[in-house]
Amino acid sequence: MFTKVLVAEDYEIANQGIVKVLNEKIGIHNVHQAKYCDDAYLKFRKEYNDNAPFELLITDLSFRKDYKIQTRTSGIDLIKDIRKVDPDIKIIVYSQEDRPDRINMLFDKYSINGYVCKGQHAIKQLIQCVEGVFQGDEVYPPELTSNLQASDMVHLDDLDMILLEELANGFTKKEIRLKLIAQNITPNGESTIDKRVSKLFDNFKAKNTTHLVAIVKDLGLL
């Protein structure tokens, strides 16, 4: 089982609740706490630089604003920066967010290992999630996996992300195609790009390019 865990959660009651579960239900006693993402990152870097890295990060996604200026204002910011330094650390998100696309994005884009939705069964699910992640599994929230068809989940590959980023930057499909050709990125056919963009519109139920960009930014994809 994990022996050293970092918990990033700004609500003290929730923070203490997670620590109690780790201590009493799972038997993990070396647990460090942080209420803000910058603080969590500093604690992570200190232990990493001292060759005593954390094995598991449990973090919320949303954090209240502090009177101090924060470099990292969300759990996603924290995850991104920690992943750059230590790609092997296991990460569990513990959040009220229950949108399937956003949860799936965290697994696909940021390589999180587990997700727990805060709620009535959160304690039981957190225990199962920590145990599953320790065994090497990807652990999705059961309330989603039991009721959600696989076809409802949006999976984006590298080309999809390039198209979304270029559309967000204001480029037309023709201009994007020329950029793909110049960078030797394939596939780059006109038909392929048209179909991919149309599929993105369908997947996110977007009315136009501006709407599509707004949706994916809200989901944290860009």
Residue 37, pLDDT > 60, answer yes
Q: What is the pTM of this model?
A: 0.72
Tokens linked to 53: 């890295």
Neighbours of 43 (CB within 10 A): 16
Contact between 212 and 188 under an 8 Å Cβ cutoff? The reply is no
Contact between 22 and 30 under an 8 Å Cβ cutoff? The reply is no
- Condensed to tens digits (0 to 9), the pLDDT of residues 122-153 reads 889 999 999 999 999 999 987 666 554 444 55
Q: What's the pLDDT at 216? A: 80
- Condensed to tens digits (0 to 9), the pLDDT of residues 107-127 reads 988 999 999 998 878 889 999
Contact between 200 and 160 under an 8 Å Cβ cutoff? The reply is yes
Taking alpha carbons only, the member of 126, 111, 216, 203 closest to residue 168 is: 216
Contact between 132 and 114 under an 8 Å Cβ cutoff? The reply is yes
Q: Which fold has domain 4-147?
A: Rossmann fold (3.40.50)
What are the residue ranges spanned by the domains of the chain?
4-147, 156-218
Residue 74 sits at φ, ψ, to 5 deg, of: -145, 165
Q: What's the pLDDT at 32? A: 96
- Condensed to tens digits (0 to 9), the pLDDT of residues 152-184 reads 556 677 888 899 989 999 999 999 999 999 999
**Contact residues for 29 (Cβ-Cβ < 8 A; gap 6+):** 22, 23
Q: Which fold has domain 156-218?
A: Arc Repressor Mutant, subunit A (1.10.10)
